[in-house]
Every structure is written in structure tokens, then in C-alpha cells.
Amino acid sequence: MTLTNVNSPLTLNNGVEIPCVGYGTYKTDPAATATAVTAAIQAGYRHIDTAMVYRNEEGVGQGIKAAGVDRTELFITSKLWNTDRGYEATKVAFQKTLDRLGLDYLDLYLIHWPANEKQFGAEAAKINAETWRAMEELYHAGKIRAIGLSNFMPHHVKKLLETATVKPMVDQIEVHPGWTHADEIKELQAMDIVVEAWGPLGGQGATVLTNPTMQEIATAHNKSTAQVSLRWVLQQGVLPLPKSVHVDRMKQNMDIFDFELSPTEMATISALPNLGGQCKDPDDVDF
Ligand code: A2P
């Protein structure tokens, strides 16, 4: 499948199509979210990614409404926050997310972080399994078109698969130059799970976009370092979710389909040292 624009589809393991680039809203100020989301949809994005913990689901919903695009043309993702894990709590939290968004279904719902053994000991796997059981129920009820995970490393996914009756369709992890997760990406893709990249530009404070090697490659293609970073993600079959509140950058981040990084350039970028970003180990987080 040749990808020609941000809405060229990738096909999930349940047959649902997902636009290959999504518009991210992590760190978008709740007060600025509606305007930003409307502008992103007007710029051409159809895939919008939010989460309960971003505190901007209402703004995303308002932005969608104001854009006036038919709901069926949009692909909307949100995520279950860590304090809402468990079978009953997940169902309650999902309904609240729908209400805040003003929608009657989601295209994709993700468990935001795995419960880890550091916090939950031997209970961690059980908590994840029970949370997933609720996700499966919501999926079977037709309230979510696809269900998945975020920040699950392959070993968390394998554990979940021991009890799951529906295989996750997506896993959204932090991926950007300097934080590549190359082996994990291959392993997840081999399981027929679409990998999404959060923070594909490194996020605030990272030096991905000012790195001299990135600048050199960008100059060679007459592109920006942001575009090179997104293209590097996409050429690994990974779906990037760039965030920007600026219309010119929203458009720039869509314009990544008229150039190709060579295998050498891909390898050079993949070999860059850590350039910042959140770079958290899901087994070590305390939230
Ligand atoms: P802003 O929203 O002010 O444009 P990520 O998607 O990796 O989380 O990175 C988002 C960060 O990168 C935000 O700080 C965003 O700022 C900035 N950003 C997004 N697109 C671009 C771009 N094309 N060029 C430079 N910075 C960008």
C-alpha cells in the first residue's frame, strides 16, 4: 500500500482503516484546543488523538463540531487514565470520555499505561487483564471500532494475550530519533499490531529538531527536521501523531509524502544518541 497523504489508510487487524498520520493534542492547552482541532481538521487531518489525562477532551469535541465534517470521515482516539483501571471503572470512564467529547462512539480507545509490577506487584497482570475485559465488552457492544494499548512493551502485550479474547489492534509508544524502540516496533508489528508514535518530534525540550545530523539530512531533501523525523517514523510502518497549535506547522507536518529517506539516512537517524524527550520506562513509572 502506497501512502500518499495523511489520510491514506493503514488497516488494523480487525479490518478497520486508520489514517496513517494523526493530529496529536498532548500538552495542548485545554482553552486553546477547540480552535486548534478545528484548524487541524480544516488543514486536512481526519485522525485526532486525545486522552482523558490531557484534560482537553471537551475542547476536542467542540473543535470537531465547529469543523462541520461528517463524523464518519473522522477517526477519533482517546485513552483510559491509570486511575480508572479495572473492569467496572473502565466502563464508567469510557462513558465520561464519550460525554466530554460529545460523541456516541470512538474509533479507537487505548489503555494509556500498563499497570506495572513496581506499583502493583503480582496484581499488575490481573489489573491489566480486567481492564482489557471491559475494553473488549465495549468493543463488542459497538461503542468502539478498535481497541488497543499505549506504552505497553511487547512483554506486557504477551502477558495480556494470555487472557485476551480480542487481540489489541494498536500500541502507541514514544518513538522519535534518539528513542527508537526498533526491536519493540518489529516485535509488535510481527504480532499484527499497528504501532503509533507519540512525541514523534521529541516533544518539548528535546533536541531532535535542532540536531546537526537531522539538519543535514533535512537540507539534502529541502525539508525541515520535523518533516524528516515524521518521515523516519512513517518509513518504519509506524503511525506518527505530531502535535502543533500553529497552522503553518500543522500543514508542514502533513507535507511528508513527496520525499523518501534512503536506507543509509534511515540507519543514520536510527543510530542517533538520546536527544531528550520523556524516555520513560513503563515498568519504572510511579503514576
Ligand atoms: P507548537 O504546538 O507550538 O507548534 P510532539 O508532537 O513530538 O509532541 O512535539 C510537539 C512539539 O513540537 C510542540 O512543542 C510543537 O510546538 C512543536 N512542533 C510541532 N510541529 C513542529 C514543526 N513542524 N516545527 C517545529 N516545531 C514543531
Q: What pLDDT sits at residue 55?
A: 97
- Of 23, 54, 109, 139, which one is the catalytic site residue? 54
Q: Can you tell me which atom of ligand 1 is nearest the CA of 208?
A: 7
Q: The domain 9-203+237-242 is classified under which CATH number: 3.40.50.2000, 3.30.70.600, 1.10.1840.10, 3.20.20.100?
A: 3.20.20.100
Q: Is 178 in the pocket of ligand 1 (CB under 6 A)?
A: no
| Residue with CA at minimum distance from ligand 1 atom 1 | 244
Encode pLDDT of 59-87 as tens digits. Answer: 999 999 999 999 999 999 999 999 999 99
Mean pLDDT of 216-234: 98
Q: What pLDDT sits at residue 1?
A: 57
What percent of the chain shows pLDDT beyond 70? 100
Q: What pLDDT sits at residue 204?
A: 84
Mean pLDDT of 18-26: 98
What percent of the chain shows pLDDT beyond 90? 98
Mean pLDDT of 237-258: 98
pLDDT at residue 186 is higher than 60: yes
Q: Is 251 in the pocket of ligand 1 (CB under 6 A)?
A: no
Closest among 146, 241, 260 to 192, alpha carbons compared = 146
Q: Can you tell me which atom of ligand 1 is nearest the CA of 250?
A: 20
Mean pLDDT of the chain: 98
Q: 0.95 exceeded by the pTM? A: yes
